[in-house]
Amino acid sequence: MTVRTTLQSSAKNSPPFAVESSHKTMHGRHAWVFLVALAGVFFGVLSAAQAVDVVTYHYDNLRTGWNSKESLLTPASIGGSNFGMIFMATLDAASAPQSLLATGVQVAGQGKHDVVYVATANNSIYGFDAVSGSPLVSVNLGAPPPKSAFPKAESSGILSTPVMDLKAHLIYVISCTYENSAVVYRLHALDIGTLQDAMPSQVVAGSALLDDGSAVQFQADVQRQRPALLEANGNIYAAFGSFGDLAEDVSRGWLLGWNAANLAPLAANQLTNHLTSSPGDCWHHGTGPCFLTSIWMSGFGPAADEHGNVYFVTANSDSGSYSPPDNIQESAVKVSGDLTQLLDYFTPREVDKWDTNDTDFGSGGITLLPKQSGKIPNLAVAAGKSGTMYLLNRDNMGKHRESPRSSGVAHVDIGGCWCGQSYFKGSDGIARIASGGGHKVEIWQVVASPQIGLKLEAVSAALPSGQDPGVITSVSSKGTTANTAIVWAVSRPLANHGSVTLFAINPADGSTLFSAPIGHWLKSDQNANLVPVVANGRVYVGVDKYLFAFGLGGGPVRAVASSDEEPRVESNEVHGTVVAIDGSSIILKTRSGRQVSVDRSYADKSDRSAPVFVGHAVGVDGYYDKAHTLHAKIIFRAKDSPAMWPTDK
């Protein structure tokens, strides 16, 4: 986060201020004196404020999620009817990435503006006036691949949060397009005033050696670029995972890097899984090897410490294949900034168990804490699907210990975490973590003595979600001034095409300060990993086809219609809970209670089957035969809540 102090006009940055009842009864000199005095007070407030540029995911490279320069939004100021929607801007598709913000941007032909930037799954980037919502500049980087290229991946285009370099006047973004019948990722460096390429884009590519000395190539059609981009060490970094564990015999986890000045690829990269074979049949459905060890983190970005080392969390692979450094699944990982060295890692004891039942550690991101007082100054926190949040020593992460339980410095239960946490300090100087596991936000004190640990301080009311548990929190405050901190989160929808809800939570006691539904999320089987951005007295959230902005003096949220769902891949699509598995046959129970027999042999052979477990839901695209057996061409992940399932066809 870059912070600059600026004096700004009240018309540009102030919330609306009604004076009708006062100046209607005043005339001439008395009215003028009143308005001048009022303006003097107002400008005094604004001159004390600091204009904030949000240039990267979760505000900084530590991924703290804390804007400590917010002086306008406090628990007191947003109470009652003082806080609401300022504007709603239209997008061409869903916006999964976090919004970014730059103040005082010279926009081509339009003068200087504070600009909020939003990327969409249609490979579009928009720049809106951050105060009024007026469209200023936009670009489309090419049509995303057709659904046939990513069967049931349900989205392509820009999925990751870009990163801005204000000194270079650039915003870096990775698009996903279809060129000459091939899926292509491109790294772009766009001028922030025009959104045009400032230099030729770079096709994403990579090669690495496996444990037998053979080479493996990066394959764009089996790798999903979901984690936010990172700029550190003069480089741009991007991490890759899979499309819902499809093509598990090919897809692996990659961390790639490029020189930020010219987009030249770094000589080295980090491949998370170097194995040439797995111990046995793939844990999904017994048809062959699987590698994976994806980096996805629910969209959280890799982090970087003060020395330029890069951190991320990996997901599952084949059970029994854990073998660092060749395969570092289910681990919090630390690598050198030039990507040549695996420096350290932490793997929970349960790695093999988690691989068996798809309990990814990598479903959540890693947050690095600023230097702390005490005997372990360099700490980090990370959590995953198991619901355990680990407090780690960045200088000695612990690697893997089978017994006693490998727990890092400390660990606590927060609930299942398809989520990301934030860090902040209170007026008492104590460091705190705002976790978003389960269906709640929890505030944890970082205890320094007599033993370093985490102490629960406050718990929010339950947050709604029909998707997987967890939210990604962010925090705003006026430094460590008492009674200024607010925890922000966007909950996930309760039903297919359902609305998401913006929450403001008081970290002192967990009470809800504000909540409002803010538009819909079309992709019911893709989690709404949405991150609210808070800066300069406003809150920004991108959803399906809209960017919402909230602030003081705003009004009620305007109702919007849900988008039409995208066309199906096949003529028949069925969602249901798996009630039985027998070799290549599975039985689904649909929302109506009807049982459907599914032949999954083709989907298995073509690497188009996600994990299948009794008691959990999947969706199937395929066709019925005369015996009413559904032959699956694709088996994809579905939420366990039937309310999230689209209408069967």
Average of pLDDT values for 382-402?
Answer: 91
pLDDT score, position 114: 98
Q: Lowest-pLDDT range, 19-33, 160-174, 495-509, 563-577? A: 19-33
Pairing assessment for the beta strands 399-400 and 342-347 based on DSSP bridges: parallel
pLDDT in tens, 31-90: 333 333 333 333 344 334 579 999 999 999 999 999 999 999 999 999 888 999 999 999
pLDDT score, position 155: 61
Average of pLDDT values for 395-423?
Answer: 84
Highest mean pLDDT among 33-42, 126-135, 371-380, 449-458: 126-135
Q: Which 3 state secondary structure label does DSSP give 494?
A: coil
Q: Are 533 and 583 contained in the same domain?
A: no
Q: Are 487 and 604 contained in the same domain?
A: no
Q: Are 619 and 519 contained in the same domain?
A: no
Q: Lowest-pLDDT range, 22-31, 63-72, 401-410, 431-440? A: 22-31
- pLDDT class for 608, splitting at 50, 70, 90? confident
pLDDT score, position 617: 94
Q: Which 3 state secondary structure label does DSSP give 46?
A: helix
561 domain residue, yes or no: no
Q: Are 354 and 323 in contact (CB under 8 A)?
A: no
If one counts every other C-beta atom within 10 angstroms of the C-beta of residue 464, the result is 16
326 domain residue, yes or no: yes
User: Locate tokens 């019948």: which residue?
Assistant: 181
- Using the CB atoms, write b or e for 356-372: b if 16+ within 10 Å: eebbbbbbbbbbbbeee
422 domain residue, yes or no: yes
565 domain residue, yes or no: no
207 domain residue, yes or no: yes
The enclosing domain of 617 has a CATH number of 2.40.50.140
Return d(Cα 531, Cα 529) in angstroms, integer.
Answer: 7
User: Locate tokens 């929302």: which residue?
Assistant: 591
pLDDT score, position 610: 84
pLDDT higher than 90, residue 244: no
Average of pLDDT values for 496-515?
Answer: 96
Average of pLDDT values for 426-433?
Answer: 96
Q: Are 485 and 611 contained in the same domain?
A: no
**Which of 647, 649, 642 is closest to 495 using CA atoms?**
642
Query: Who contacts 8 (Cβ-Cβ below 8 Å, separation ≥6)?
Result: 46, 51
Report the chain's mean pLDDT, rounded to a whole number: 87
378 domain residue, yes or no: yes
Q: Lowest-pLDDT range, 30-34, 119-123, 644-648? A: 30-34
pLDDT score, position 401: 67
Alpha-carbon distance values, 163 to 204, 214, 328, 603 (Å): 17, 34, 27, 37
Q: Are 533 and 585 contained in the same domain?
A: no
Q: Which 3 state secondary structure label does DSSP give 455?
A: strand
566 domain residue, yes or no: no
pLDDT score, position 320: 85
Could you tell me the pTM of the whole model? 0.86
pLDDT in tens, 226-239: 999 999 999 999 99
Return d(Cα 466, Cα 646) in angstroms, integer.
Answer: 13
State which amino acid sits at residue 1.
M
State which amino acid sits at residue 98.
Q
pLDDT score, position 24: 31
Note if the bond before 450 is cis, omega within 30 degrees.
yes
Average of pLDDT values for 628-641?
Answer: 90
Return d(Cα 336, Cα 178) in angstroms, integer.
Answer: 33
Q: Which domain holds residue 605?
A: 572-644
pLDDT score, position 627: 83
User: Locate tokens 């540009």: which residue?
Assistant: 12
Q: Are 481 and 605 contained in the same domain?
A: no
pLDDT score, position 198: 98
- pLDDT class for 248, splitting at 50, 70, 90? confident
- Which has the higher per-residue pLDDT, 605 or 507? 507
Average of pLDDT values for 400-415?
Answer: 75
pLDDT higher than 70, residue 18: no
pLDDT in tens, 326-358: 999 999 999 999 999 999 999 998 887 776 777
Q: What percent of the chain has pLDDT over 90?
A: 72
Q: Are 276 and 149 contained in the same domain?
A: yes
pLDDT score, position 609: 83
- For residue 201, give both structure tokens: 């884009």
Pairing assessment for the beta strands 630-637 and 595-599 based on DSSP bridges: parallel
Q: Are 113 and 174 contained in the same domain?
A: yes
Distance of CA 322 to the CA centre of its chain: 26
Q: Are 342 and 399 contained in the same domain?
A: yes
Pairing assessment for the beta strands 431-435 and 442-447 based on DSSP bridges: antiparallel
DSSP state of 643: G
Please say which residue of 552, 586, 602 terminates a domain. Answer: 552
pLDDT higher than 90, residue 7: no
The sign of the torsion formed by the CA atoms of 386, 389, 391, 393 equals positive
Question: Cα torsion for 417, 644, 575, 240, to the nearest 10°?
Answer: -40
pLDDT higher than 50, residue 26: no
pLDDT higher than 90, residue 120: yes
Return d(Cα 513, Cα 515) in angstroms, integer.
Answer: 7
**Which of 182, 385, 185, 210 is closest to 289 using CA atoms?**
210
**Which of 28, 22, 46 is closest to 552 using CA atoms?**
46
**Which of 139, 234, 245 is closest to 193 using CA atoms?**
139
Residue 415: phi and psi, rounded to 5, are 95, 160
Q: Are 89 and 546 in contact (CB under 8 A)?
A: yes
557 domain residue, yes or no: no
Element (H, E) at 281: none
pLDDT in tens, 198-213: 999 999 999 999 999 9
Return d(Cα 169, Cα 182) in angstroms, integer.
Answer: 31
pLDDT higher than 80, residue 512: yes
Q: Are 391 and 489 contained in the same domain?
A: yes
Q: Are 479 and 590 contained in the same domain?
A: no
Q: Are 288 and 382 contained in the same domain?
A: yes
The enclosing domain of 318 has a CATH number of 2.140.10.10
Total domains present in the chain? 3
